[in-house]
Amino acid sequence: MRAIVSRAVVLGIACVAPVQVVGQEARPTLTIGRLHYGGGGDWYANPSSLPNLLAEIGRRTSLPVAAREQVVTITGPDLWDMPFIYMTGHGNVLFSDEEVLILRRYLENGGFLHADDNYGMDESFRREIARVFPERPLVEVPLDHPVYSVVYEMPLGIPKIHEHDGEPAQGFGIFVGNRLAVFYSYQTDLGDGWEDADVHGDPADVRELAFKMGVNLYVFAVVAGQ
């Protein structure tokens, strides 16, 4: 994974603006890979969500991040430059046999996938990720896992952003060895919480919880979870 950050960077993680080197322009080196998948689902949903999340990561930590996400496919070369890929949508997800093998290799070699159910992709995502890891089922991530505390303490786990079916928000995961490699946010829709404030009209405190969880996921993936 060529873009994985050294563990030493964790020493710079803080809920403050990044430190600038005098006389030297900061060069963004990290981004989020938005996964363009097949099957007909709207992989492009919530267009303002990832730029807003990246802005908050840049504001709240010392990680050098870009202003926008980068669209990637599983078979494209850019996948291997992404320490963190994100997928969302309301519809069907379908991986080819080749994509199943490549995604497994990516995740086994240090990559991280955050799948964010935007109300409608649950059945197909569970089906396809089971093809990637047939021997590793999705399990609920325990509340004492570092993903809920690496920057912000989230003692109740993943926050509930939108109603969906009225069920509790849950964070599921797939572990490769002891490393959390896949995080699946279910019955919450974090991406809606990251969108521009006027898109959904979510209260400021709800959006703040969504951003805190997003920052935790990103920092865990690129620093603490390696």
What is the number of alpha carbons within 13 Å of residue 151 lying toward its C-beta?
Answer: 29
Q: Mind listing the domains of the chain with CATH numbers?
A: 30-224 (3.40.50.12140)
pLDDT band at residue 124 under the 50/70/90 scheme = very high
Token look-up 């089922």 returns 137
Phi and psi of 172, rounded to 5°? -100, 160
70-91: average pLDDT: 97
211 touches 59 (CB < 8 A)? no
CA distance 212 to 130: 29
Chain mean pLDDT for the chain: 88
pLDDT value at residue 226: 62
> What six digits make up the tokens of 37?
């998948």
pLDDT value at residue 1: 52
CA distance 186 to 196: 21
pLDDT (tens digit per residue) in 167-178 = 899 999 999 999
pLDDT (tens digit per residue) in 161-215 = 877 777 899 999 999 999 999 999 999 989 999 999 888 778 999 999 999 999 9
Which has the closest alpha carbon to 85: 154, 132, 140?
Answer: 132
* Residue predicted with more confidence, 144 or 11: 144
pLDDT value at residue 162: 78
CA distance 51 to 32: 9
pLDDT value at residue 54: 98
Is a pLDDT exceeding 80 seen at residue 140? yes
pLDDT value at residue 27: 55
CA distance 171 to 182: 10
